[in-house]
Amino acid sequence: MKRYFVYLFFYSFISCHLSGEDKVYNSGIHIIPEPLQLEVRQGVFPISNSTTLSLENGDWEKEASVLMNKLEEASGYKLSFSDSSSNNCIRLKTNGNLEEEGYEIEVDDKQILLSAATEKGMFYAIQTLFQLLPAEIESAKPLKMGLSVPAVKIADHPRFSYRGVMIDVSRHFFTVEELKKQISVMAMLKLNRLHLHLTDNQGWRIAIDKYPQLVECSAVQETYNEELYGPCYYTKEDIKELVAYAGRHHIEVIPEIEFPGHSLSALVPFPELSCSGGPFKSEQVFGYEENVFCVGNDSVFTFMENVLTEIAELFPARYLHIGGDECVKRYWQTCPRCQALAKRMNLHPTPEHSVEEQLQSYAIKRMERFISGTLGKRMIGWEEILEGGLPEDATVMSWKGTECGAKAAATGHDVVMASMADGLYLCAAQGADEVEPAAMGGQSCLKDVYEFEPLPKELAPEKRKHVIGTQACLWSEWTPSGELLEYMLYPRTVALAETAWTTPEKKNWDDFLRRLENMQVRLDLKGINYHIPLPEGELTTNKVFTGDSVILEFKNSRSLPMVYTVDGTTPNMYAPSLPERLVLHQPCTLKVCTKTANGKLSPIRTINIEKQTPIPAIQNTCNGQIHLQLANGLFKDHSDYTKAVYEKDTIINSFAVYNKDKFDFKTPGLACYSGEIEVPETGIYTFKSNADELWIAGKLLIYNPTSSRFYEKKTQIALEKGLHSFALLFSNRLKEGFASCWYPIDFQYLPPSGGEWIKSN
């Protein structure tokens, strides 16, 4: 809510100083995705209270209402209907020669002509028309400006028929209203598929009448932090509301029910459907899970058929997603039922596939027959459904890269490219790990998504028709809130939209960035919390100097301007511009952020600039031993750490002696490792660790009580050559779904002269 009022103040402020027509971001044509053909002509068409609407040789009432409602909300103008001969008219006309999602727009000073063959095409024509108007057309309040449309001629249709976004609502749940908000943006960008990942190990998020135990047991999760997550799930009425809303925006909602792996949420209430028999617990634990459906048990298929029957009734989409990925088959190897099935089917290992992979193929094919034959849907699944062979009608979602998708297309399967290797996993960080929120390992920057090419070069021309589109995926382990969900989705989803719609020869990165400035204003007016690149280059939480001055050099992934302050105040759009080399002579609190062309600021980085005298070394002999103290209980933050009562006190020779394998997050506790390190030279050292606290020479350098996966903080300190004390605090617990004991317990430091990072003992 606070962020919303900041947006409101910001746009109210600049609106007092500039009219919509004068704002730089409204100059020129800024349509995203870029149309196939665009001709800019002389003149404009002014929209006024006397502008009329004509519906010609077609039933365009629904589309006309979209146009009329938006114009009335933004301007107060109420368009009336007229015949086609009127001037000052917006005409909606049928052109049966256009493609299903294609449209044409022709604007001069007397009329606007929108032509399409279908409702989808006309809807997209109207979305483009809105983007020809000032960005403020997206405001929920009436505008105090005139509205005019530049004279243009546009002929457009999409490159791919499938243009999608996947949102994982299992790991973290998002409400119907939060999803509607994303649908409205997707429609503006001409995206047409919303793939909902409804079930996984961590949660079952949709009510099934035949099995009420699914949401009773698996819509709420244990977090091992003295609280529960949930209950969170969609009722059938929720789904009907969401599907209807998406339908009005010409977006198909594709449900995914995971099978046969990623299925723990189904096994919690029904352990008899597993190989081991359970019992199982519903937990918000993001990690590896070996318990999966038992494919040798016919009751599993009865269960899935009953579930999918109810799912198919709720979702009118052509596709039904079966998952099929990352199925751990260890239990199948020793399960009597699974092995009996393999024996009856006379399965034997082949050079290409194990017996268990062939069992998965059997299970997937059996489900495909039910989905296509009984439900009349088309099955889609992650690329692992190819293991052992697949029916021709199944569609493959290629997620690891494009290689598997290319192979599937070459054999006649339709393919959706959702390549993690090419940046389409939007749970990856959008910049340096040290400055961005905790995320999946690796990076996916805006340009990576924009430059992704869904058609593999090695695919024969006659097989390219089988690549039906592309999709970005947002796995929600790292997005516990709707605000963070949007931060990860946008603007990368904007880039995806152009990749999915626009032909490669029409794409231009620099021009996309220009058009993005206008789109970001539209996102602001829709209340979207999109990502702005943070200042990088200097990646430590502080900057230490020992001489007369220190030099800092920052950059960001889109070469946007940056602003800063050195007096501890919060920078605003009028703060001093950051030079290429910032020279500081005094200790201070530096606050720096990136600024977009319309004055919007990124999150602020705070870096303490410290002048230090190297801390003297300890006059002692280093024996290399570590003092280890252990306390039982849940310790969440520094105030908890200070209250620890250590129950075990021992000496170990290295961190390796008592490391992550000694801990179980279900039995939380606190470990304090202390000792000495010997540093090789005098100067400024950089330390890094994902530990909860790291103290060097009596100073707290690193404090990180939140999720630290792929998120090692870095801090500097000036030390004299020789021995210095250290203390590392490790809180063994589940942090935002990730167990801290899954990662090595240690720290590293970089000497003043550089070179390799030195690992702690």
- Three-state SS for 250-317 is CCEEEEEEEECCCCHHHHCCCHHHECCCCCCCCECCCCCCCCCECCCCHHHHHHHHHHHHHHHHHCCC
pLDDT band per the 50, 70, 90 thresholds, residue 377: very high
Same-domain pairing of 294 and 192: yes
Same-domain pairing of 175 and 41: no
SS3 674: strand
User: What is the structure's pLDDT at 588?
Assistant: 97
CB-based contact 83:56 (threshold 8 Å): no
Does residue 616 sit within a domain? no
Nearest C-alpha neighbor of 531 from the set 426, 631, 643 = 426
Does residue 530 sit within a domain? no
* Ranges 355-364, 435-444, 574-583, 703-712: which has the least confidence: 703-712
List the Cα angle 366/372/375 in 5-degree steps: 105
Residues 34, 200, 256, 283: which is the catalytic one?
200
Same-domain pairing of 590 and 478: no
Prior bond of 579 cis (ω within 30°): no
Residues 326, 451, 640, 736: which is the catalytic one?
326
Tokens 């001709």 -> residue: 39
For the cut 90, the answer to whether the pLDDT of residue 631 exceeds it is yes
For the cut 60, the answer to whether the pLDDT of residue 341 exceeds it is yes
Same-domain pairing of 512 and 568: no
For the cut 80, the answer to whether the pLDDT of residue 375 exceeds it is yes
- What is d(CA 137, CA 143) in angstroms, rounded to the nearest whole number? 8
Does residue 713 sit within a domain? yes
pLDDT band per the 50, 70, 90 thresholds, residue 20: low
User: What is the structure's pLDDT at 57?
Assistant: 76
pLDDT band per the 50, 70, 90 thresholds, residue 708: low
User: What is the structure's pLDDT at 1?
Assistant: 36
List the Cα angle 33/34/37 in 5-degree steps: 140
Does residue 528 sit within a domain? no
Tokens 């989409």 -> residue: 317
For the cut 60, the answer to whether the pLDDT of residue 18 exceeds it is no
Does residue 219 sit within a domain? yes
For the cut 60, the answer to whether the pLDDT of residue 19 exceeds it is no
| pLDDT more than 90, % of the chain | 87
pLDDT band per the 50, 70, 90 thresholds, residue 136: very high
* Ranges 15-29, 58-72, 265-279: which has the least confidence: 15-29
Highest mean predicted confidence (pLDDT) among 151-165, 379-393, 651-665: 151-165
Same-domain pairing of 507 and 589: no
Nearest C-alpha neighbor of 33 from the set 499, 379, 464 = 499
pLDDT band per the 50, 70, 90 thresholds, residue 705: confident
**What would the DSSP string read from start to end of 164-228?**
EEEEE-SSS---HHHHHHHHHHHHHTT--EEEEE-EETTEE-B--TT-THHHHHHSSEE-SSSSE
Given 136, 156, 176, the domain boundary residue is 156
The tokens for 492 are 């990368």
Told to judge if 200 belongs to the known catalytic residues of this protein, a careful annotator would answer yes
For the cut 50, the answer to whether the pLDDT of residue 741 exceeds it is yes
Same-domain pairing of 326 and 428: yes
Quote the mean pLDDT of the chain. 93
Same-domain pairing of 68 and 142: yes
Task: Please give the average per-residue pLDDT across 204-221, as a whole number.
Answer: 98
Residues 197, 249, 250, 262: which is the catalytic one?
262
> How many structural domains are present in the chain?
4
The tokens for 729 are 């605090």
Domain CATH number, residue 261: 3.20.20.80
What is the tens place of the pLDDT at every residue in 394-434?
A: 999 999 999 999 999 999 999 999 999 999 999 999 999 99
Q: Where are the alpha helices (DSSP H) in 549-617?
A: none
Same-domain pairing of 256 and 391: yes
pLDDT band per the 50, 70, 90 thresholds, residue 207: very high
Same-domain pairing of 152 and 178: no
| pLDDT more than 70, % of the chain | 96
Told to judge if 216 belongs to the known catalytic residues of this protein, a careful annotator would answer no
Same-domain pairing of 242 and 258: yes
For the cut 70, the answer to whether the pLDDT of residue 581 exceeds it is yes
Task: Please give the average per-residue pLDDT across 703-725, as a whole number.
Answer: 86
Residues 6+ apart with CB under 8 A from 570: 591, 604
Q: What is the pTM of this model?
A: 0.95
Same-domain pairing of 555 and 649: no
Give the residue with greater pLDDT, 704 vs 508: 508
Given 140, 156, 172, the domain boundary residue is 156
DSSP designation for 704? -
The tokens for 142 are 């009436």
Does residue 527 sit within a domain? no
Between the alpha carbon of residue 619 and those of residues 88, 454, 616, 652, the distances in Å are 89, 63, 9, 22
- What is d(CA 440, CA 396) in angstroms, rounded to the nearest whole number? 23
Given 156, 191, 226, the domain boundary residue is 156
Same-domain pairing of 443 and 319: yes
Told to judge if 553 belongs to the known catalytic residues of this protein, a careful annotator would answer no
For the cut 70, the answer to whether the pLDDT of residue 8 exceeds it is no
User: What is the structure's pLDDT at 77?
Assistant: 87
For the cut 50, the answer to whether the pLDDT of residue 540 exceeds it is yes
650, 653, 658, 660 alpha-carbon torsion, rounded to 10°:
140
Domain CATH number, residue 743: 2.60.120.1560
For the cut 80, the answer to whether the pLDDT of residue 92 exceeds it is yes
Neighbours of 390 (CB within 10 A): 21
Between the alpha carbon of residue 468 and those of residues 161, 163, 315, 458, the distances in Å are 6, 9, 21, 16
What is the tens place of the pLDDT at every residue in 636-680?
A: 999 999 999 999 999 999 999 999 999 999 999 999 999 999 999
Write out the residue range of the structural domain in which residue 230 sits.
162-520
